[in-house]
Amino acid sequence: MHLHILGICGTFMGGVAALAREAGHRVTGCDANVYPPMSDQLRSLGIDLVEGWDASQLGLAPDVFVVGNVVSRGNPLMEAILDAGARYTSGPQWLAEQVLAGRHVLAVAGTHGKTTTTSMLAWILHDAGLEPGFLVGGVPMNFGVSARLGRAAGARPAPFVIEADEYDTAFFDKRSKFVHYRPRTAILNNLEFDHADIFDDLAAIERQFHHLVRTVPSGGRLVVNAREESLKRVLSQGCWSEVVRFGARKEEPGAWRARGEPHAFDVLRGSLKVGRVDWGLLGEHNQLNALAAIAAAEALGVPPESAARSLARFDNVRRRLELRGEAHGVRVYDDFAHHPTAIRTTIDGLRRRLEADRPEDGDARILAVFEPRSNTMKLGAMKAQLPWALEGADLSFCLAAGLGWDPREALRPLGALAEVHDHLDRLVERVAAAARPGDHVVCMSNGGFGGVHGRLLEALQRRAA
């Protein structure tokens, strides 16, 4: 079968493309913007990419067009597909029918931590010899790819771990993506307001999460963050499956919790120690992600002690505080953070890493460089939270291009500690001028950010010459 995928360079659709290619299908695709790591992965798989949405792509005559949610009415290629009466479907629908059917699906949902937790869970199952399939919204370093079929055939098909996004499916299917996946095990990691372009308020997102809960069978398992009032409200709308809670702040019968620092902690179930995690990740958010992954893996028979040992060899995901290089004594990192909570968590995680790994650098400066690029941020729905998100940084630099609101006003409470620039060249120039040996520059965006990491390293290198 020949699939032509519209929006192929998105993390989800790129993963669908990788799975289809592994399954033996011919895959081509198109997108408006191409940037790593997904573009690199697609090219390594031998998938031909077309830049843009020209209607002439109809001439490729695929068996089916697989449409990503980046595509809307008015898109030239989509209009040609509709006029021609050609066959089309959404990415989640194709995945559900062609890959997930008959598998034990483990879905990881939540506003934050989906990619990391999905990667942890896939690694635990892999390390246990279960040969899982997976689709992750990033590139787990343990695997080097964002998607894999796993052992898809035989008497016992392999489990499939999927990052379960609440964003809508396609312009013709406004349900959240995750309702297509029919998981037997589901992690509800956390839940905050996000995606202001399609959801009016938090209650609207809670309803979508309850739609996911409705699809989990009575013999399945829900792994739920005990700290989240929003998730309590989701379950209060009805629940028909086993509920396992994690992250409880005090002992609770049957609940999973941690005892110790985020980089080295005991895993407790109730009052009983069932494992210990010693690893390179820091931050309480990753500690909670680990508890969720361990609890979900247990549903497939992986002992918590074994799961905890597996996490000692977990190498995280690309673009999660990924060090991109060092120049002039300045380290430059890449991170996917774009929601205010995620930005704050990233900065806090870097600070704690410096204090733990290099105590002498505990007072080192952190320079936050960020691009409000997500649809929610472009609308300005969370602009009031930006000073709170950035207060842990010593200096902050914002790229203001393409916004319908003024970040200068939003960042005014930070005074001289925050700068806003309308052009990337000027932003790079100012960051390079402000940085000094020993600083840590963390660049945050859910897009390519114009290759800011490489440009910063080049600018810093010129200073050192």
The sheet that has 418-421: what strands, in order across it?
A: 322-327, 330-335, 440-444, 366-370, 395-399, 418-421
292-335: pLDDT as tens digits: 999 999 999 999 999 999 999 998 766 777 888 888 889 999 88
CA triplet 153, 159, 165: central angle to 5 degrees? 125
69-128: pLDDT as tens digits: 999 999 999 999 999 999 999 999 999 999 999 999 999 999 888 899 999 999 999 999
Of the given ranges (113-117, 225-229, 371-375), which has the lowest mean pLDDT?
371-375
CATH architecture assigned to 322-464: Alpha-Beta Complex (3.90)
Q: Band the pLDDT of 225: cuts 50, 70, 90.
A: very high
Q: Band the pLDDT of 38: cuts 50, 70, 90.
A: low
Q: Determine contact, residues 121/307, Cβ cutoff 8 Å.
A: no
Q: Band the pLDDT of 179: cuts 50, 70, 90.
A: very high
Q: In the prediction, which pLDDT does 318 show?
A: 65
12-24: pLDDT as tens digits: 999 999 999 999 9
Instruction: Please give the structure tokens belonging to residue 364.
Output: 């080192």
What is the average pLDDT across 443-461? 84
Q: In the prediction, which pLDDT does 36 show?
A: 66
Reference 370, options 420, 327, 328; nearest CA is 420
pLDDT at 246 over 80: yes
CATH 3.30.930.10, applies to 102-311: no
Amino acid in position 274: V
Q: In the prediction, which pLDDT does 196 show?
A: 65
What is the average pLDDT across 394-403? 86
| pTM value > 0.85 | no
pLDDT at 131 over 70: yes
Q: In the prediction, which pLDDT does 357 show?
A: 61
Q: In the prediction, which pLDDT does 172 show?
A: 96
Q: Determine contact, residues 45/8, Cβ cutoff 8 Å.
A: no
pLDDT, greater one: 153 or 88: 88
Q: In the prediction, which pLDDT does 360 show?
A: 57
Distance separating alpha carbons of residues 443 and 185, to the nearest angstrom:
34
pLDDT at 359 over 70: no
CATH architecture assigned to 2-90: 3-Layer(aba) Sandwich (3.40)
Domain boundaries, the chain: 2-90, 102-311, 322-464
The reply to whether omega before 407 is within 30° of 0 (cis) is: no
Q: Give how far Cα 404 sits from Cα of 4, 167, 215, 401, 464, Å.
A: 34, 22, 38, 9, 38
Average pLDDT score over the chain: 89
What is the average pLDDT across 411-419? 90
